[in-house]
Each structure stands twice: as C-alpha cells, then as structure tokens.
Amino acid sequence: MAYPRSLSDLINCFKKLPGIGEKSAERMALSLLDLSEEQVEMFSTAMLTSKNNLHTCPECGHITDKELCDICSDENRNHNVICILEDYKSVFAFEKAGNFNGVYHVLNGLISPIDDVNPEDINIASLISRVESLENPELIIALKSTIEGETTTLYLKKIFENKNVDISRLSYGIPMGTEIDYLDEITLDRALSDRKKISE
C-alpha cells in the first residue's frame, strides 16, 4: 500500500526507535498529523534541540545542556562518593530512585575484549584522576552482572584496591516483588550465597 511519500518517510523514522514496529510507527505517524501545526513544530524543534544541545559533562560523563551537569554542580551532594555507571541512562534510573546523594561517573561502555573495547576506550582515565583529587574517596560500582560488567568491575577493583579507596559494588539478589519460583537459577544461587543475617 502506497502512503504519500512524506508520510512513509515519517513512518520509517519512527521505526528507528526501539520497540516500534511497522504497525506502531504507522499509528504514531498518523496521529502526529492530528496534532496542531504548533505542536508538530514544537516536537520537531525539541528533537533537534535535544540532539544538538545535549553534550557530555566534562566531570562525570553524564549528559547535560549546561557546562557542568546539574549533579556535578550541586554543592549539597557528597562529591566524595562516586557511583560508577555504564551509561547516562543508568544515571536517570538512579536519580529516579532518589536515595543516592553522591555523584556519578559514567564509563560510557564496559570493557569487552571480545568486541575490542579496552580500558582506554571507556572513561576510566578520567575516573582515576578524579579519584586522585579527592581525600577520602568512596566508589560504588553499579554495573550489570554480565561478563563485561564483571570484567570492568574487577578491573576497577584492581586499580583502586591499594590506593586507600573505599570500594564496593551493588548487591545481587532477588528483585523486590518477584515470585521466587520465577527466578532464574543464577540469581537464586547468588541470592543464597549472598544471604544476610536478619537484623532486628
């Protein structure tokens, strides 16, 4: 079926977004036409502005439209505690949870020899110099539990272990609210071996 050219172009653009197939892309493109001219213009501009204005914070690697990101420039946060993350999306996830008052360091990748991603390809050098400038640094490694995540975690541990840095990683275990019988064995094994004493 032939959509008008400009419409099929738009549908193809929507299909580039994650989880959007043919059908959803069509529905979105068609409903975009139902928006007012001003709304479509705003949408179109917001896309360009986001893409062009957002850049990497030189301190932590998070995305920002300011010179320094909101988190790095916030003096109420504890700049001695650095949470190490794979990407900026994880920063948003942490900030949504809302209980962390330290700062972040975005690696922008994980060490993966198989994909030829080495320590110098991700933001580790900047992390080292950042940690060196602190007096009592604490590092919290919050990387996923894949081979790449584990490799990177171990690499970071090795770098910082003899440098008077307090270093930890997130706990693994049962996600909140999950049925035990639906859990995969590896998570269950991990939750078992990492079990904690029940405090009063």
CB of 105 to a copy of itself, least distance (A): 18
> Distance (Å, rounded) from C-alpha 172 to C-alpha 165?
22
Q: Which of 58, 65, 78, 166 binds a copy of itself (CB under 8 A)?
A: 65
Count residues binding a copy of itself (CB under 8 A).
54
* Residue 46 binding a copy of itself, by CB under 8 A: yes
Task: Give the phi and the psi of residue 82 in degrees, each rounded to 5.
Answer: -115, 125
Amino acid identity, residue 12? Answer: N
**Comparison of 38 and 135: residue with beta carbon closer to a copy of itself:** 38
Q: E strands within the chain?
A: 55-56, 63-64, 81-85, 103-106, 138-141, 166-169
Binding segment (CB under 8 A) for a copy of itself, from list 2-10, 77-85, 121-129, 147-155: 2-10
CB of 151 to a copy of itself, least distance (A): 23
Q: Which of 141, 132, 138 is nearest to 166 (CA)?
A: 138
Residues 6+ apart with CB under 8 A from 157: 141, 167
Contact residues: a copy of itself, CB under 8 A: 1-7, 9-10, 12-13, 16-20, 24, 26-33, 35, 37, 39-54, 63-66, 69-70, 89, 92, 95-96, 98
